[in-house]
Structure 1
Amino acid sequence: MARKNRIWFPNAMYHITSRGNRRNDIFRVKEDYEVYLKILREVSVYYNNEYEIICYCLMTNHVHLQIQTHEKHIKYFMSRLNSFYARYFNNKYNYVGHLFQDRYGSEVIDSGKYAVRASRYIHLNPVRANMVLKPEEYKWSSYSMYIGMKEEKLIESDKILSYFTRDTARELYRDFVESAMKNKSIEDKEVI
């Protein structure tokens, strides 16, 4: 049976997920996370910045990416990223078979409100998984770059931060993210 084509149009933004096969870990040690981020950067450069990485969060057994496309379909970016990382992982751990469960998941982000909420959802993943108490404590996420704790590398936070007052955008974004932590009644489905 043929796969259904993904929705794509120039300048589409996506919330992408890639999960380990059978929900197995795709990151075992620090080096794995570092290699994934290196490959993510290399793929972006390879495609001459046709894609902007808005934010990311690398969990133990899955990945969340928010990516803005320009003139190339997202499938080219994700195919290269996942195949290069799978090759690295399979070689390192003498792994046989598929690293990733099915093909990557993608949701088109069709509004500014959705874009901001998707970034919050992505950045809160480690908190919801009880890995950390605060999102800035999680090392494998772009959140600390968004709030100005770390130098911004790899990501383009301007698109999300542009929805907040310029002079205090990073502080307001932090308040926006943390408000979801304080308000336990916000369900994941309402957040995105």
Structure 2
Amino acid sequence: MVRKRREWYPGATYHIMSRGIRKLPIFYDDEDRKVYLKQMLKVRERYPFKLHCYCLMTNHIHLLLETDQFPPSDIIRLLHTRYAIYFNHRHQLSGHVFQGRFAAKLIDSLTYFLEASRYIHRNPMEAGMAEKAQDFLWSSYIAYFDTSVLPFITTEKTLSYFESPSAKNYQLFVEMERSDE
């Protein structure tokens, strides 16, 4: 059966999610996460994209990724293939690392863009892995307050939607409890 092609156009932004097969971990330790990020940067050299935010949980990932000249399928296929080869070799495993096709939700509004960013950065708090978003080491949240930490994260677009001081207002937006949750 042929899969339905995802909608794509240059400049499209997606909330990308991918889970470990059978919900198993895709990161056993910090070294695995470091390699995933290094591979992402290598893939970006071949398939340029903007990364607005990310979160590397134990058994899944979230990316808020804006494409340039290539669809997300090219980017994620290469990234996850390279990472799976590394992961299986390092941990003496074989077979699939990621469960099925990654999810890519097209960001079609400013509200969705900001809510996806918020959701991604709140994910460790919601999962009980961190008390505050900045406590979780494996997300891009810190880049919104110190751009020298993760210079490959594009924070300008997100922060441009918040009044000055934009970083502080973004922090309030991410960390405030919502009554509809």
Q: TM-score range by the shorter chain?
A: over 0.9
- Partner residue of 1:190? none
CA distance in 1: counterparts of 2:170 and 2:62, whole angstroms: 19
Does the alignment pair 1:186 with 2:160? no
Give the superposition deviation at 1:150.
6.0
Q: Secondary structure at the match of 2:165?
A: helix
Does the alignment pair 1:91 with 2:89? yes
Q: Secondary structure at the match of 1:124?
A: helix
Give the superposition deviation at 1:103.
1.1
Equivalences for residues 51-62 of structure 1 within 5 A: 51-62=49-60
Give the superposition deviation at 1:149.
8.1
Q: Over residues 10-60 of structure 1, what are the superposed CA-to-partner deviations in whole Å (9 max), with x where a residue is unaligned? A: 21000000100000000001100100011111111222xx21011000000
CA distance in 1: counterparts of 2:22 and 2:126, whole angstroms: 21
Does the alignment pair 1:173 with 2:170? yes
Give the superposition deviation at 1:159.
1.1
CA distance in 1: counterparts of 2:148 and 2:125, whole angstroms: 19
Unaligned stretches of 5+ residues in structure 1: 188-192
Over the aligned positions, Cα root-mean-square deviation in angstroms equals 1.3
Give the superposition deviation at 1:71.
2.1
- Partner residue of 2:98? 100
Provide runs of 4+ in structure 1 moved above 4 Å. none
State percent identity of aligned pairs.
Answer: 43
CA distance in 1: counterparts of 2:72 and 2:96, whole angstroms: 21
How many residue pairs are counted as aligned between the two chains?
181
Contact 1:123-1:143 within 8 A present in 2 as well:
yes
Equivalences for residues 30-179 of structure 1 within 5 A: 30-47=30-47, 50-148=48-146, 151-165=149-163, 167-179=164-176
Unaligned stretches of 5+ residues in structure 2: none
